[in-house]
Amino acid sequence: MESIETRIGYQFKQARLLEEALTHPSLGYETKRPRFDNQRLEYLGDAVIQLIFTTELYRLFPKHSEGKLTKLRSQLVSKEALCRFAEIIGIGQHLRLGKGEDSSGGRERPGNLADAMEALSGAIYLDGGLDSARAFILDNFGDAIEVIAREPGENNPKGELQEHLQALAPSSPFYRIVSQDGPDHEKVFVSEVIWEGLKLGRGEGSSKKEAEVSAAAVALKEKRWAGFEIGE
């Protein structure tokens, strides 16, 4: 635990919060013993990260419209971005996983890393307040704002899809690979994008990322979310 505190530049006063943030639900499920996991902190951390990046973008870009700010923020708080942030600080090696999850690649799984990044942010917020959480986010990942400002992701189907959907509900779409065929040097991946229980589109490509982009492009074309209402 001390090594990750050194890496993130924050020392917890309540060590249990850090332990909780790094505990995947698989650990309790596998041992069948009641124990905490990081799901509640993940929920809190999502809101904390959104607030910090929203405030910083508002400050840095006074001439940007609401739509432009929303597009920039969606790139910063996407599951892909959170996974990259988690990889930068090496969260994966510190995760507390069940043996099955660990042996099946759980320390590198993008969903686990993104969730842990949110949970860690929530834990720092509870332990040290908003200023500490802001310092953690901006000191470690503030450069990402400059990068997306220079390359705002035009022609980015995944970012554009997320922007459309977040105008309807705060949840993000998620992508899953439903099949992969062919020899290693000529793989064809098929990805599906799902949001609020709706299957929005399916696409294929020579890599997982390419298949996800294709699925997002199909979703933007078909607009299956039309008429969606929260709580349906």
Per the CB < 8 A criterion, the answer to whether 212 and 190 are in contact is no
Please say if 101 is a catalytic residue.
no
Contacts 24+ apart (CB under 8 A), 54-63: 56/138, 56/142, 56/145, 57/145, 60/145, 60/149, 61/149
What is the rounded CA–CA span in Å between residue 212 and residue 190? 8
Element (H, E) at 56: helix 39-60
Rg of the Cα trace of the chain? 18
Q: Which of 46, 101, 127, 212 is catalytic?
A: 46
What is the rounded CA–CA span in Å between residue 44 and residue 232? 24
Please say if 66 is a catalytic residue.
no
Task: For residue 146, count other CB atoms closer than 10 A to its CB.
Answer: 10
Residues 6+ apart with CB under 8 A from 207: 187, 189
Residues 6+ apart with CB under 8 A from 126: 14, 17, 41, 44
For the chain, count helices (H), then strands (E): 12, 3
Q: Which of 42, 118, 163, 192 is catalytic?
A: 118
Residues annotated as catalytic are 46, 118
